Amino acid sequence: MRMLTSWLINAIVLWVVTALLSKVTYSGVGHLLLAAAVFGILNTFLKPIARLLTLPLAIITLGIAWFFVSMLMLWLTAAIVPGFAIHGFWTLVWATIIVWAVNLIVDIVIGSWRAERSSRRQHA
């Protein structure tokens, strides 16, 4: 269930990016869903490794290096999935910022929902 939820959230996040940035495109819902799955897999398996490898640089740059790791995950998604494209470096930068912002909002909403749910369990 958690995996399905994560996949759907990734699909919504990528859809928001495509709705806000005309240079991020997908050629059909199937490609968007595939991009969401690939993005989730990359973030689950490759991103932690990349973050570990860039830890010294992240310390020196006060975490800015990890923004580039996030950009890499989005760029790799576009490179892997046919029918999902990000056209241009600055579009990639803005897409990464939008992904971060939408994920932050989702984490706040789901986080508060989880807190309510767990408090109801404790009181029951």
Tell me the pLDDT tens digit for each residue of 8-55: 999 999 999 999 999 999 999 999 999 999 999 999 999 999 999 999
Residues, the chain: 124
Q: What is the pLDDT of residue 110?
A: 81
pTM metric for this prediction: 0.86
DSSP class of 26: E
Predicted confidence (pLDDT) at residue 4 exceeds the cutoff of 70:
yes
DSSP class of 43: I
Q: What is the pLDDT of residue 65?
A: 96
What is the tens place of the pLDDT at every residue in 45-75? 999 999 999 999 999 999 999 999 999 999 9
CA dist., res. 102 & res. 88, Å (int) = 21
CA dist., res. 58 & res. 53, Å (int) = 9
Predicted confidence (pLDDT) at residue 119 exceeds the cutoff of 80:
no
